[in-house]
Each structure stands twice: as structure tokens, then as C-alpha cells.
Chains A and B, each alone.
Chain A
Amino acid sequence: MIHLKQVNKFYPNKNALVQALRDVNLDVAPGTIHGIIGKSGAGKSSLLRCINLLERPSSGSVAVDGIDLTHLKEVDLRAARRQMGMIFQHFNLLNSKTVFDNVALPLCLSKDKKSLAIEQQVFTFLDLVGLKDYLHHYPQQLSGGQKQRVAIARALITRPKVLLCDEATSSLDPQTTTALLSLLKNIHKELSITILLITHEMDVIKQICGRVSVMDKGEIIEEGEVEAIFSNPKTDISKDLIYSLGTQKLPDYLKNKLRETAFFGCHPILKIVFHNDSSASPIVSLLIREFNLTINIHAANIEYIVDKPLGIMIIEILDKDSEMLQKSILFLQEKQISVEVLGYVG
């Protein structure tokens, strides 16, 4: 649905050029929810704006629904933009207009307007976001979550194929964020719309995205299924972003004692990552029973990513029998559970 090829973006800044995007390639399949995550200044906002050409890329091509946007005339570009809805961090509603007029606005912009049809469509979409009782309210009478719902209705009313979300939940509290994300999930199911969202919160990705791209310094440095990135982040940035969830971080007391190489009388520290079905099996019990190991659990957590469990555990093996240790690692790997020796402690 969305294809970016070799997209570069430079901004003039005083006398130097700043590169905001560096050879970005992105493919978003129709009907998926794709997330782009990165810290602030990573270029995700520029990337999103290159898709509907609010920012024109310095080089490279942008195609949405098979149409190369960079070569369109101004009039055709406007028509193409009507096929893409967009919502913003600060909602960007018109304070001078009622909820009804805000939602109706995109329809009033196109030439073929029929007032009756407009009214009906506004009702339909306000109902979809659960705000049909707020027709005559003004934005200032609404909460942040409600404002974003109005913005969603406004973005969807032209029945676009793509919805672009620019940090749509970043100014909302965690509960409202969750509610809004589940609304987006429902809309995605109901309208089979393609959603591309950018965020700096792994939590958002975890809750609704199928695929995720990790951005840093204008580049996409890692991309894949959300589960895969979560269970095995390859780059430091993704690790950082995932660890910021507060799950797999090594406890400080352990980190200080940890040595990279084995020494006499040491205990290995293992990180065990299990997902899907394997998280249902009693791993620790099995290790203790089958291999007669003495295990100390230092940290453990199970996250639910797009409703699938992902467990991460940091354990210390208190036995000195290295043969048994090797056997148990093999045993876990056979069960599709990833094991990593983080180091050794005395």
C-alpha cells in the first residue's frame, strides 16, 4: 500500500544541510498496522510527512496505492491526499467549529458535496468513534481522548485507504491511550484500512502493531514482526526502547557483579526468552526435575504483545556441573526457547 524507495530528506539549517532521512525504504502491506518507533529527532515525523508529501523528499520515490506521489500535479496531489487520513498529537481540531462541522470539513472541501449525504456520513463516523451525542459540542468542551476521537472521525470520513497517525496518543494518559488504541484496532478490523503510526512508546507498538520499523538518526535500522523484534532485538536502540518497558533489565546488583568469562566456582547467569506456546510449559520446573538443577530467579516477566505472550526470565544456575548446564541449554533450544549466557557471578 505504501512504498518508499531510497527516500532522503535534507533541511537547510543556517549554512549546513541537515539530513533528516537517509536512504529510507519502507513497504507497508495493505490492511496492516505498521509502527515506526524511534526517539525524538530520529526522523519519524519527517518520514510520516513524506508519505502524504507534507514534506517533499529531497530524493527517492513515494508511492501510495500504486501511485507515485512525487510526480503528481498539485491538483492531483490534493485528490491523493483525500485518500489518506491523518491524525495528530495535538488533535488539530478547529476550535471555532462544532464537532459536527469539524468532522464534516473534509467533505466540504471536495466539489461533489450533497448536504444530506454529508449529514448521514458524519453521524455514521461519529457513531463509529462513540461520540454521536456530542454533535453540537465545541472542542474545548471535550477531553483529550474525545478530541482525538473527533479527529479520527474527521480523518476517516473521506473513506481513505490509509490512516497516518502522528504520535496520536502521546498527549494522552495511559488509560485513554489504551482505549484509543483499541478503538483504532476495531476500526482497522471494520474498515480494513492500512494504518501507519509513529510513536516513541514501545507500549503503543506492543498493543496494536503487526510490524514495526525502528528508526535512528534518519535511518530504519531494524524492521520485522513485532514479536520478533521484542523477543530478539538486534540493535542497541531497539533494546533500549524495549528495556524502557522495565521488563528485561538486569537488576543492578547483578549487573555490578557480572563478569564476561567463567572463573572457578562461578555461577552462570542465563537469559531465557520464550514465546507463544512455549510460555505455557513449565520451564523452570522441568529444568529442576529433569536436570536436577538449583535455580535462582532474578527477574521474570511476561508481556502480551498483540495478545501473544512473550516471557523473559533471568536466572542463575547454582550448580557447578557444567555438563548438566550444557545439556539443559540444548534441551531448552530444542523447545524453541532462546537461551543466552549473559555472564558469570561468584
Chain B
Amino acid sequence: MLGNLMIEILQASGETLYMLIISGLLTTLLGIPLGVLLFSLQKPELLGNKRGHFILEAIVNALRSLPFVILMIALIPVTRFLIGTAIGTTAAIVPLTIGAIPFFARIVENALAEVHPGLIETGLAMGASPLQIMSKILLPEAFVSILRGTTVTLIALLGYSAMAGAIGGGGLGDLAIRYGYQRFDVKVMVITVLVLIVLVQIIQNLGNRWVNQNEK
């Protein structure tokens, strides 16, 4: 009995990590360009497009205004189209990624906005193109701040991934609901909570170490 439970917990942790890693990678990959775009569109020196910025703002705000549980359900057709099914761990990655991208994009946008505005001017004075200002000046300067944001996003994703369990996404959330909520099994609940706490500690520590290595 206890052996079975251990296997289930390990499996659930594996599923959670799988969701976290894949959606984390996709979020970073897609969130950085979106954040860069959000920032550049509102800067006349870079892309400077008021209309484009307005539209993108509206989309990002719309996605961010939906609670994750609702987003998950609303995205079921999209998930089915992309993955072929709306149930399971892989299927959960779709709403997780789509939910986290606007969040992370805002973090990237803020990190870029915190770079000393004089540096854009400096880049222009050197004869840099908008693309070069972004890639050679702003992104390197914002890098550490984006790293910090990545940690925050990963931990938020961990929270979302537990919610994904509620609609059959698997993982620790699923375990907690099945045993802890439906069967009132306190032991499983406690173990799930402990595993989650340990995971958050690990992510935060790795993030901090990475930040420290890159901070000047």
C-alpha cells in the first residue's frame, strides 16, 4: 500500500516537472519576443507604433484578466487542435504556456523599461539600429532582471500546473485532489504539500544562484 503510494507520488512529481519544464521553456522562448515587442512598440526610437502597441496591449491584458481555471477550460478547443486531446499532462502544457506567456512578457517589458533610458540615446548616437539597440544594449543590460523574472514565472507555473490537475492534467495537483480532497487522505495531502514546498525552494535557489553568477 505504502509502496504503491510512493510510486504514485513519484509519478505525479515527474508529471509536474514535465509540465513545468516544457511550459517553462516555451514561455521563455515566446515570452521574451513578446516582451521585447511590447516595449519596442511604445518607444518612438525603436519600433514606435502606437496602434500596434494598443492592439498588443489589449491582447495581453485580455489573456491576463482570465483566471487560470477559466483560461484552461476556454482553451480546450485550441488544445484539442494542437495536441489532439484536451486531457492529460501534455495537453495541460498548452493552457499553461498560453497563460504564462503574457505574464512573463510583462516581466520582460518591465525589465527593459528599468534599463537607464540614456542607453537608448547612447545607442542611437553610436549609429546603432533599433535591432542592435535591443540585442546589444537593452537585453544584455536587462538580463539579470529577466533571470529573476524567470524564477518568479516558474514558481507561478508550478501553481498553475497544480490547477491543471483539476481537469485531468495529472501531476501533484491531480494527486492532491484525488486523495486529499475526494478521499480525505491527510497523509497524501501533507506529502504533496511538502513536495511542492521543496520544489519551490529548489527553483528559487537555482534562480538565485544563476542571478548571482551573472550580476555585476
Residues of A near any B CB (own CB < 8 A): 52, 54, 78-82, 84, 86, 88, 90, 92, 94-97, 105-106, 108-110, 138, 140, 158, 164
Query: Among the interface residues B119, B122, B132, B141, which one has the most CB atoms of the partner chain A within 10 A?
Result: B122
Residues of A within 8 A of B143 (CB): 96
- Contact sample, A vs B, 9 pairs, CB 8 Å cutoff: A52-B125, A54-B125, A92-B121, A92-B122, A94-B140, A95-B216, A96-B144, A106-B126, A109-B132
Cα distance A109–B118 when bound, in Å?
A: 18
Could you tell me the distance between the alpha carbons of A108 and B123 in the complex, rounded to whole angstroms?
12
Tell me what chain B mostly uses at the interface: helix, strand, loop, or mixed. helix
Given contacts A94-B119, A108-B136, A138-B216, contact A84 B125 (CB under 8 A): yes
Residue contact A81 to B124, C-beta cutoff 8 Å: yes
- Closest residue to B124 on the A side, CB-wise? A54
Besides A81-B125, A81-B127, A88-B121, 17 other CB < 8 A contacts?
Answer: A52-B125, A80-B127, A82-B126, A86-B122, A86-B126, A88-B118, A88-B122, A94-B137, A95-B141, A96-B140, A106-B126, A108-B136, A109-B127, A109-B136, A110-B127, A158-B127, A164-B125
Shortest CB distance A12–B (Å)? 13
Contacts of B137 in A (CB 8 A): 94, 105
Knowing A96-B141, A96-B143 are in contact, say whether A90-B118 is a contact too (CB < 8 A).
yes
Kindly list the 5 A-B residue pairs having the minimum CB-CB distance in the complex, ordered from nearest: A81-B127, A82-B127, A78-B127, A86-B125, A92-B122
Within 8 A of A (CB), among B106-134: 116, 118-119, 121-122, 124-129, 132
**Shortest distance in angstroms between A144's beta carbon and chain B's nearest beta carbon?**
15
| Chain A residue contacts of B122, Cβ below 8 A | 86, 88, 92
A121 to chain B, nearest CB (A): 15
Q: Which of A92, A95, A109 contacts B128 (CB 8 A)?
A: A109
Report A344 CB to chain B, min CB distance, Å.
54
Asked if B121 contacts A54 (CB within 8 A), the reply is yes
Nearest to A49 among chain B residues (CB) is B121
Residues of B within 8 A of A158 (CB): 126-127
Residues of B contacting A84 in the complex (Cβ-Cβ under 8 angstroms): 125
Residues of A contacting B126 with CB < 8 Å? 81-82, 86, 105-106, 109, 158
Q: Which residues of A contact B121 (CB under 8 A)?
A: 54, 88, 92
**Min distance, Cβ B133 to any Cβ of chain A, angstroms:** 9
Question: A336 → chain B, closest Cβ, in Å?
Answer: 44
The interface residues of chain A lying within 8 Å CB-to-CB of B136 are 105, 108-109
Residues in chain A near residue B125, CB distance under 8 A: 52, 54, 81, 84, 86, 164
Complex Cα distance, B127 from A158, in Å, reads 11
Q: Closest residue of chain B to A78, judged by CB?
A: B127
B141 proximity list for chain A (CB < 8 A): 94-96
Q: Compute how far the CA of A80 lies from the CA of B129 in the bound complex, rounded to whole angstroms.
A: 13
Q: Which residues of A contact B127 (CB under 8 A)?
A: 78-82, 106, 109-110, 158
Flag B80-123 by CB within 8 Å of A: 1 or 0 each.
00000000000000000000000000000000000010110110
Query: Which residues of chain A come closer than 8 Å to B116, judged between CB atoms?
Result: 90, 92
CB-defined contacts of A88 to chain B, threshold 8 Å: 118, 121-122
Distance between Cα atoms of A92 and B140 in the complex (Å): 14
